[in-house]
Structure 1
Amino acid sequence: MVFINLFFAFFRIGLLSFGGGLAMIPMYLTEVEKHGWMTQSEFMDIVAVSQMTPGPIAVNMASYVGSSAAGWAGAIVATTALALPSVLVILALTTVLSRLKDNPWKNAFFFGIKSAAMALIFYAGWLIASDTLYASLNEGQWMTAAKGLLIAGGCYLTRTCWSKLEPVLLILVSGVIGAIFFGA
């Protein structure tokens, strides 16, 4: 039963989500909580690890969640189910979209999709921020939250000022700074 649930949950995520892996986070979290595959805190750890590992974040998250739910076979089922709708849709739409290249309705439709994806990415950012920063504030750990904001702000400024800087390097440096700030 777990394999069927994994397949349909990740097929639905792959079919109905737009905007990449970060925009999928709310849908992932809904499925993970609905099926009890892991806690929200465990899922947020998976998001962080998925961002650091090579490959698309959505595929990495599907593999981790599937593995957590049903071992390596669950990882294969979840990853395949996530990718299958994209493959089918791309095959079907390739010829249609090439014919509608300059169609204003098509352009307006995709503008709407990008706007929704942007909102979902902001929401994913809010989930991550609330898991790391807001939880610290609720527990009265103001300095922990301030250090987290300092790391996040530093990453944002570094990335916007030096966009050629490799994101992997930025993540590794942030990890080292986090170890210094929060290490025992």
Structure 2
Amino acid sequence: MTIGLMTSLLISPAHSVDGSFNVAGNIVNETCIVEGVVVIPPYGGNNIPARDMVIEFGSHISFDGDETTTYFVTGIPFSIKLSNCAATVAWQNVRPRFTTSGKLDGKGMLINMDKAGPQNISMYIDKYTDGSFTKIKFNESSGPATPLPTSPGNVNLNYRFSPYKTGSLPTKGGPILGIVNYEIEYL
């Protein structure tokens, strides 16, 4: 009888077969835990990381000419706080990325999203690398992360936000709104 079944299966390969294929796995190496964004007071934060952070800059912005920004000269500092980082993290493979659904101008800066506010204001983000700040592009990898250790296993990735006047002096005051998300890519 067993031979008959085998012969039957060999002769008729078009029969359907029920079954399943299961795949299971685990994370072998975790790079870091993303705690959130930290903004130094008084700009909206209390040094406690939050997944969603509003950076308040109130009326501290002043523009002193075309295509300039003055915000106490340096912009508004913020950090992405990471914890439980493995000692073996290959930081050249950790790539923060800032994305936005807003419109970008010809220089890659985020245009003010609040239609009630001045329309000749854009915003950009700089990343801190090797002692200086470099402007990053939205919706693209910002390059390798530059971690600044805060304690064993914990680091901050430091940035600053700056509004930028794209033309002549604003014809009106009003709100400035930019919505940006961040992603941490591990290559």
The two structures have a TM-score, normalised by structure 2, of 0.24
Q: Which has the higher helix share?
A: 1
The two structures have a TM-score, normalised by structure 1, of 0.25
Q: Which has the higher strand share?
A: 2
- Max Rg structure: 2
